[in-house]
Amino acid sequence: MAGPDSLLEDFMRDREDLFDSVEETALHLERNPTDQGSQQVLFRSVHTLKGNCGFLGFGQVEQLLQQTETLLELVRDGEVRYSTGIADLLLAVTDRTRQFFDVLEATNQRISFDTSDLLDRLADACPEGSI
């Protein structure tokens, strides 16, 4: 069975594919907001990132991605309409998450970073009480 270091190395190597999927699909949905297949791809990519972060002990990143996943569930279920604002928010979440892992890769240090602004934006994008 692979150890934690091996799992982290695998994730660090593969994370860019997931980030790229989120960005590309977020932009595609901006032009085709009702594309249910793309909504599912976007949800799955964020869900995978969130799960990996949780398993690897990156709590702050996991929390941010959990809120993002909740928003995407609401989009997928038709409770929230996908918009340019949501696309911009997803890109901001991806950028911030990428920064976290870029620093981790460069310094081998788990840093703390403030995600309160993004969590507030995610809460604002969802109907009251859903986050």
Q: Residue 1 pLDDT > 70, yes or no?
A: no
Burial of 53 (0-12, 13-18, 19+ CB in 10 A): buried
Please state, rounded to an integer, the average pLDDT across all residues of the chain. 92
CATH number at residue 50: 1.20.120.160
The answer to whether position 66 is within a domain reads yes
Q: Residue 118 pLDDT > 50, yes or no?
A: yes
Of 128 and 49, the one with more pLDDT: 49
Q: How many structural domains are present in the chain?
A: 1
Q: What's residue 23's pLDDT?
A: 97
The answer to whether position 130 is within a domain reads no
Residue 120 pLDDT grade (very low, low, confident, very high; cuts 50, 70, 90) = very high
Domain that holds residue 102: 4-125
Q: What's residue 4's pLDDT?
A: 54
The answer to whether position 38 is within a domain reads yes
What is the reported pTM? Answer: 0.91
Q: What's residue 3's pLDDT?
A: 53
The answer to whether position 75 is within a domain reads yes
| Residue 129 dihedral angles phi and psi, to the nearest 5° | 90, -5
Token code pair at residue 56: 């690897």
The answer to whether position 45 is within a domain reads yes
48-102 pLDDT, tens per residue? 999 999 999 999 999 999 999 999 999 999 999 999 999 999 999 999 999 999 9
**SS3 category, 77:** coil
Torsion of CA 34, 38, 40, 44, to 10 degrees: -150
